[in-house]
Structure 1
Amino acid sequence: MRHPHDIDLPLVLDRGSSVSLVVQVADGLRRAIETGVLRPGDAVPSTRTLASRLGVSRGSVVAAFDQLHGEGWLVADHGATRVDPALAPLRPAGTRQGEDLAGHQEGPTAQRPAGARQGGGPAGRTIIDLRPGQPDVTGLVDPTWRAAWREAARHPGGRHGPAGSVPLRAALADHVRVARGAAVAPDEIVVTAGAREGLQLVLTTLGLAAGRPLVVAVEDPGYPALRRVVAALGHAVVAVPVDVDGLRVDLLGEGTDVVLVTPGHQYPLGGAMPVARRLALLAWARAHGAVVVEDDYDGELRFTGEPVPALVALDRAPGDERVVVTLGSFAKVLAPGLGLGHLVLPDPLRDKVIALRSDLGSPVAGVVQDALARYLETGALRRRTGRMRRRYRARRDLAVEVLTDLPGVRLRPTDGGLHAVVELVDAGPAGEREAVDQAGAAGVLVAGMADYWAGTAPRPESPVDLPRHGLVVGLGTPSLEEGLTRLRGVLSGTGPRGSTPRPRRPSAASRR
């Protein structure tokens, strides 16, 4: 009888080699795990079956399995031998992240266990991913979340119109009103598969109407994923410097069709655009016939200072032509894998977008729309957002505590969101790259500021107090404290394998 978990493995033995058959079998299995032929949790063939296939003694295979057990590659599980499920798929340091340096990983590679002979992090250390855009999803799957999905799954055949589910759009309008201070009607909302898909939809609609490639102004530094979307669609990208108040409206050029901004939480520097700058941007857009695309990135996750309404809330003056499109997403408050967002659109752009969506079809499954509508209707999202604000404020405070008092290092202040910017005050491009590489060698993955500038260096118009070189550090990982402690060791100059004591947190008694 064939083993119930039989799998064909590309193991080739060289019987003329001076390397023993035991070592050759172990090396072959190890390579199969490294290359993804065997994945974490997969059962491997029985020792009897594998010995029969390879034409070697069962004792040789047993010895090879024992060696891999000892190294941490294999575990015994319910009568079968499996690849250790703890070998979580991770990306090696120095590779780009697919979403935005921020959020959705591309093809995984297997993390090597402690003691593995090549690659991976330092022996005995797990790799901690501190790249930005990876939210804390703990506590999301609660009874309310499960009930919403169970109810939606009872009607899997439901179809919705091109603008999206009517109940979902009503719930989204209420969410935008309560969370972002903008009174919008459900008919102004179109359901999307996230911020990038929404931007594609808007730019394609505007480009078809113009009959030519668009000129799109973006923040510099700014969100690299959306900048790449603009370029991938064939439109011209014009980088406009930012200062502490956000995008410099006075530097916008003639002929600009679209201005892409993150006014609620400038990415990656974290500031909020004040009302005066917002009004100036809207006035400029109306005077030049441009559309302002507001990426409401992390708008709900502001945890210090007065809450700032979404830019669309100011685009409501009677008699004024509306010029703001808002991109919304639940990737940070809920989970990136949800793949759902929304657009808030003015007339007549809304009708054109819906017509294009009707031709292209919606990428968001009806079950997903129904589940999120039910989840929003219960008020669970507002409660979760409040918890996330408190949690990320505590994580921001932890980052401040761990990364202060380091020579040549300055932590940029942030009022919200899921990341922090660590400025390397005296470092150049090479110093930034070295810091990223050394952090990777210490088992900590971070992003460099260079990825956020549109060019190879800041423009002359960019304020001198903006961080030229530094690290962008995400705060969402469950292993944040350990990751920050390792990063402190790197930045303090003790080397990638060293560590340095961080300031002790006061005890509960002393806090009182």
Structure 2
Amino acid sequence: MSRSSGPAELPLAISRDVPESIPTQLAEQLRAHILAGTLAPADALPSTRALAARLDIARGSVVAAYEQLSAEGYLETSKGGTRVTKNLKLQEVLGARSGGTQPGHLPRSQQVMLSNGEPLVAGGGVRPPRPPVPPRNRTINLTPGSPDTSLLASTAWRASWRVAAAEPTANYGASGSPALQYQLAEHLRTMRHTVCAPHEIMVTAGARDGFRLLLSSLRTQRRERPLRIAVENPGYPSLYQIPAVFGHEIIPVRVDQHGLDPASLPAEAPDLVLVAPSHQYPLGASMPVTRRLELLDWARENNAYIVEDDYDSELRYVGDALPALTALSRQHPDDRTIMLGSFSKTLTPALGLGFMLAPVSLHTDILRLRRVMGNPVSALTQDAATHFFARGGAHRHIARMRRVYRQRRETLVTALAQSRLPDWVNVLPMDGGLHLVLEFTGVYASAGYETLVCETLMRSGVEVAALGDYWAHAALTSRSLPPTGTDVPSDAQRTFGVVLGFGVEAPHRLQAAAQKMTQVLDSMGVA
């Protein structure tokens, strides 16, 4: 079985206010992850030194926890490090804990953890990648959403495409390559704490492709009537403009510091709610678990579905990556969440690759429609991606880019602080992603001033995006909005400012951009 080559990224928390010792807390949490399926046989664990540094605890505590789990048979240590025991008899362990439950009656997550997969092996050396070419234009590109793709062409990346091209596959079925589905299931398990069977994953050409497919399937299921879709306001225009184009009813819902509030949803329940719970775009809110559970309860009570836009959750710089909303939903028999994923931010938008994970109640209808429409992702792309994931290339690249982006984020935040922005400009807190938001306050919080700032910055050689462009009323026609009861805010209720992307520029250019922005904003202040 081909497992993810890098250490699994797990949510672990140590408390010094409980009676249990730190080694006991750590051992209990790791044991729970093994039994829940988020850690599977042969998975690598972080080194004792790395985990101790991450949790800010003594290395001896990690050593003691690992030794305890090794003595219990959960872990094994070799020259390659510490791993979950390869031949761990989870059937026996789980049976003993549940009073003799038979393997055939295990919960779905545990059955998935015990299933077999076919590994793909790719080999051969290639030339080392060329160093990135520095930008030739003088304009500093701080438009949000653009990742740095100059570091992607590693040996593993080039070898994956060479192997895929050497033996091209003619075609795959509607769901995609079974080998790629397996690798995506492993990616969701280790990176997003979501356990699923490979066949439940639909390979897509990105989040928008998956969303279009979902809308088409649901419209047929709901007898061809237009769907009512609640969207975060402000939110990600490229997704909520899609249903508007197809004549569906868009219901903008205001977000607060914790994301979308289920209590703000209209009395006439929508069919879908589109949310980004782990990292709301563009304001950056992370939805707490209490609100996530409220949203899932609301969906079950109203026969609605939650569409989780999981666009860049791996790029989190403060604390552990948050488990996906889908991971919570799948623990309930009435799963109401559809996860849309894409690798445009973590790898490259040029790949045109994503996935959709839908509940059983929708999967059959979506698959039937996909068979009619065909899968738009080429077999060559799917094979190359399969090799790249199987060789650990994706895991290593995402970990590397997280470090690179964290450094660039810190550089930009520090440079803005040192440049002393005017007191009417706030830097909103942002725990992850590829952008920052500068919020305008007081008399400067207006659409006209926002536009003026963006135009002046462009003439000064810094390209940014206007925060006002992310509000629903700025992107949708009045015909696309419901006639009454909408939550489209007036200018006085909206947030204005600029959105700054730091994905593509080098640190020294980010520092230069911060200085230019401060100069422009200072010059535009009112005495």
Query: After superposition, where does 1:292-311 map in structure 2 within 5 Å?
Result: 292-311=306-325
Amino acid at match of 2:380: V
Q: 1:313 to 1:464 in 2, by over 3 A?
A: farther
Cα shift readout 1:464-491 (whole Å, capped 9, x = no counterpart): 9997111111111234532552353244
Matched, 1:450 2:468: yes
Cα shift readout 1:444-465 (whole Å, capped 9, x = no counterpart): 11100111111259x9898999
**Tell me, what secondary structure is at the counterpart of 1:178?**
helix
Matched, 1:411 2:423: no
Matched, 1:489 2:501: no
1:295 positional shift: 0.3
Structure 2 unpaired stretches of 5+: 1-132, 476-485
1:285 corresponds to:
299
Q: 1:461 to 1:163 in 2, by over 3 A?
A: closer
Give the whole-Å Cα distance in 2 for the aligned partners of 1:467 and 1:475.
24
Give the whole-Å Cα distance in 2 for the aligned partners of 1:249 and 1:464.
24
Amino acid at match of 1:475: F
Greater displacement, 175-184 / 385-394: 385-394
Matched, 1:256 2:270: yes
**Tell me, what secondary structure is at the counterpart of 2:359?**
coil
Give the whole-Å Cα distance in 2 for the aligned partners of 1:332 and 1:87.
20
Q: Bigger radius of gyration, 1 or 2?
A: 1
Identical aligned residues as a percent: 42
2:105 corresponds to:
none
Q: 1:361 to 1:239 in 2, by over 3 A?
A: same
**Tell me, what secondary structure is at the counterpart of 2:473?**
coil
Matched, 1:274 2:288: yes
2:372 corresponds to:
359
1:354 positional shift: 1.0
Matched, 1:429 2:444: no
* Contact residue 457 and residue 520 of structure 2 kept, 8 A: no
2:329 corresponds to:
315
2:398 pairs with one of 376, 385, 407: 385
1:141 corresponds to:
153
Q: TM-score, normalization: structure 1? A: 0.69
Greater displacement, 210-219 / 395-404: 395-404
Give the whole-Å Cα distance in 2 for the aligned partners of 1:488 and 1:455.
32
Residues matched between the structures, number: 375
Give the whole-Å Cα distance in 1 for the aligned partners of 2:318 and 2:413.
14
Greater displacement, 384-393 / 323-332: 384-393
Give the whole-Å Cα distance in 2 for the aligned partners of 1:278 and 1:269.
18
1:387 positional shift: 1.2
* Contact residue 177 and residue 183 of structure 1 kept, 8 A: yes
**Tell me, what secondary structure is at the counterpart of 1:399?**
helix
Give the whole-Å Cα distance in 2 for the aligned partners of 1:143 and 1:180.
26
2:211 pairs with one of 189, 199, 202: 199
Give the whole-Å Cα distance in 2 for the aligned partners of 1:317 and 1:177.
14
Give the whole-Å Cα distance in 1 for the aligned partners of 2:270 and 2:491.
26
Higher RCO (C-alpha under 8 Å, 6+ residues apart): 2
Give the whole-Å Cα distance in 1 for the aligned partners of 2:470 and 2:292.
22
Q: 1:306 to 1:269 in 2, by over 3 A?
A: same
1:439 corresponds to:
457
Amino acid at match of 2:451: R
Matched, 1:477 2:489: no
Give the whole-Å Cα distance in 1 for the aligned partners of 2:493 and 2:432.
18
1:431 positional shift: 1.1
1:184 pairs with one of 155, 176, 196: 196
* Contact residue 340 and residue 354 of structure 2 kept, 8 A: yes
Matched, 1:342 2:355: yes
* Contact residue 435 and residue 491 of structure 1 kept, 8 A: no
Q: 1:306 to 1:454 in 2, by over 3 A?
A: same
**Tell me, what secondary structure is at the counterpart of 2:360?**
coil
Amino acid at match of 1:190: M
Give the whole-Å Cα distance in 2 for the aligned partners of 1:488 and 1:87.
21
1:229 pairs with one of 242, 245, 249: 242
* Contact residue 409 and residue 491 of structure 1 kept, 8 A: no
Q: 1:483 to 1:395 in 2, by over 3 A?
A: closer
Query: After superposition, where does 1:96-107 map in structure 2 within 5 Å?
Result: none
Cα shift readout 1:311-363 (whole Å, capped 9, x = no counterpart): 11001235x31100000100011001000000001113111111111111111
Greater displacement, 376-385 / 221-230: 376-385
1:173 corresponds to:
185
Give the whole-Å Cα distance in 2 for the aligned partners of 1:324 and 1:490.
41
Q: 1:361 to 1:441 in 2, by over 3 A?
A: same
Q: 1:330 to 1:87 in 2, by over 3 A?
A: closer
Q: 1:237 to 1:461 in 2, by over 3 A?
A: closer
Q: 1:324 to 1:494 in 2, by over 3 A?
A: closer
1:247 corresponds to:
260
**Tell me, what secondary structure is at the counterpart of 1:135?**
coil
Q: 1:465 to 1:491 in 2, by over 3 A?
A: farther
* Contact residue 259 and residue 285 of structure 2 kept, 8 A: yes
Q: 1:369 to 1:435 in 2, by over 3 A?
A: same
Give the whole-Å Cα distance in 2 for the aligned partners of 1:271 and 1:382.
25
**Tell me, what secondary structure is at the counterpart of 2:203?**
strand
1:495 positional shift: 8.0
Amino acid at match of 1:411: V
* Contact residue 329 and residue 342 of structure 1 kept, 8 A: yes
Cα shift readout 1:210-259 (whole Å, capped 9, x = no counterpart): 12110000000110110111111211110001011110110112230000
* Contact residue 324 and residue 345 of structure 1 kept, 8 A: yes
Cα shift readout 1:70-129 (whole Å, capped 9, x = no counterpart): xxxxxxxxxxxxxxxx999xxxxxxxxxxxxxxxxxxxxxxxx9xxxxxxxxxxx71222
Q: 1:190 to 1:209 in 2, by over 3 A?
A: same
Amino acid at match of 1:347: V
2:340 pairs with one of 324, 327, 350: 327
2:64 corresponds to:
none
Q: 1:496 to 1:130 in 2, by over 3 A?
A: farther
Give the whole-Å Cα distance in 2 for the aligned partners of 1:485 and 1:301.
24
